[in-house]
Every structure is written in C-alpha cells, then in structure tokens.
A = this chain, B = another copy of it.
Amino acid sequence: MATIKEVAKRTGMSPTTVSRVINNHPYVDDKKRRIVLEAMDELGYVPNSSARRLRGQKTNTIAVIISRIVNPFFSHLVDAMELIAGEKGYQLILCDSRLDKERELRHLELLKAKQVDGVILASLQNDWETIKPFTKYGPIVMCNEYDRRAELPMIRCNQYEGGYIGTKHLIEKGHTNIAYAGGANRIELTYDRWKGFMKAMDEHGLTIPDEWMFPSFYGIEDGKNIFHRIYAMQNGPTAIFAGGDEVAAGIIQEAKRFHCRVPDDLAVVGYDDQPLASLIDPGITTINQPTKLMGTRAMEIMVDMIKNQRKVTFKEEILPLELVIRQST
C-alpha cells in the first residue's frame, strides 16, 4: 500500500535517500538510515515489484518449460531448479507445454514481452528453426532436450549411451528378439537413444522388425497398450526397451495380469529410474538419469547468464547415464 513517497514524507527525507536505504546503498547517514528503516517498518512498506521491474529492466523471474509436470522425471527436475532459483533470488514460472507445440511457443513468448529474464527449455515440441528467433529476446538454456543445430547452453544426458547400455544388457541376458518403445525419432534426444539401441543390435548382428517399434508413448496406459500389441503377436519379442519407467510399469503390470512372466516371458528395460522403478514387483531395470544435477546445472547456468549478461556462451554439458539392474530383466 505505502509507497516510497509516503516513507519520504513521513521521515522528511527525499525518495532518493529512502531508495538508497532500501537498496543498502552506502553513503547514507547512519542515523537517517535508522529513521527510514523505522518508518518503513511502521508503514509496512515493501518496495513495489512492478516499479522495480520497469525501472531496472529486469524481472528476477525465470520461466521453466517442461512437457508434463505429473511425470516424476519433470517434477524432480523442477524441484531442483526451484531450489536453486530461490537461493539466487529468482522466482520460477512453471510452464507446461503438455506435449503441445502451440503451448510451448506461447510460453516462449514470455521472453518477448520481457516477462521473464530467461527461459529454461526442458520441452522440445518444435524444431530448432522455430525456436531460434526467440534467442534474440533473451537467454535460453536447454535442459535434457537438445538439438544439434542449436547454439545454446545445453545440459543433457548422453542418450546414445543410454540406448546402448540398456540394449546391450538385454542382449547379454540372451535376448535376440528385442522391441523398442524409446520414443519418436523426430526428436534428437530419442533419435540418439535409438542410435544407441541400433549400435548394440548391430554389434550382435541383430535386427528389429517395424512392428516392434513403438514411437511416442509416455504413460502407464501407453505401456499397457504396448503390452497388448505384443501379446497379440505370433512370434513376438522376448524383451523390450521402453523409453520411460511409466511405460515399463504399464507393460509389467499388464503382463502380470495376463500371466505373462517378467522377465522370463518378457524382459523390460525402463528409463529414468523413478521411485516407482524400485517399488513395483519385479523392480524395473532402468537407466538412471542425474535429474537433480541436470536441473541444478541448468538453473545455475541460466542465472549466470542473466547476472553477467553473457551472450550465448554456447556450451554443452553431457552428463553420464547409468544402468540400474533390477528384476525385470
């Protein structure tokens, strides 16, 4: 309610001096400083954020675009980011693209309107060509998702390795008929995963028929559907590489319901190492992603770019992935 003017009037000083006190500026007489502080307290004065934004040309706000907050992978990612943002004095605007191009773009517009100081992009429904124009409005950092053509800081995992180690594990377990539900190849992240998958297959002279490839599946229900499609096959696969633990969980749960034994009849590799991976029975063999570290680094880099006004200091941080073996393989 109270403004800087009122504090000034009440203390008989100028708004300038009051402002200096607010901002811990030196060169303010100690006695005056105390008087101003007291008046601020009495009036319950708090500097108006909108005015500071306009004047200072910064918002102390960062937008985080993710694709599905109810996916534990993203809630953990956001959790890490929120913690760092808070420590550094930034607010976090949560933007859910809901796997939708238009929504993602609309959220990116926040940068144009100077509604945020920067955007962390952890969703990538659009191509780089579409995203690129936004880079001139402010800093963008990619997190988890990436694109080879992008010249932005990218904090991400080695998805090629993820595809490779998961598949190799299945092959070492004796499987030669392996299905793949690791995501659409349109997206770089999942394309690399696919390449890792194929690398392991190639090394052992294995191939995969088209019908065993399931693109664009995300949730538990999707996993159930995949199981049914496999279950209906004459000579189906004996193992499947799933692109997420939720998909893997759906497959496993439905398999159990239909008395298909996991891993004996169907081995399953998940991805993410979410809490549920160790909770369900059999536990899901999966690829652990350093989610917390990714979120932390992305936010740290974002804040660094804002504070030091760095121009696209293009750099990529590629974090290692790890195979966690449980009972589903």
Contacts and interface: CB of A to CB of B under 8 A. Distances in A.
A69 B54 contact: no
Interface stretch (A43-51, A122-130, A187-195, A321-329): A43-51
Interface string A252-287: 010010000000000000000001101111000000
B92 A93 contact: yes
A146 to B, nearest CB: 24
Contacts of A86: 103
Given A92-B94, A249-B279, A79 B72 contact: no
A11 interface: no
Given A70-B76, A82-B94, A281-B280, A50 B48 contact: no
A48 B91 contact: no
Contacts of A83: 96, 98
Interface residues of A, number: 49
Given A54-B53, A93-B93, A279-B220, A113 B48 contact: yes
A112 interface: yes
A158 interface: no
A293 to B, nearest CB: 15
A257 to B, nearest CB: 10
A221 to B, nearest CB: 10
A109 B115 CA distance: 20
A263 to B, nearest CB: 15
B220 A275 contact: yes
Interface of A: 1, 44, 46-51, 53-54, 57, 59, 61, 69-70, 72, 75-76, 78-79, 82-83, 86, 91-96, 98, 103, 109-110, 112-115, 137, 220, 246, 249, 253, 256, 275-276, 278-281
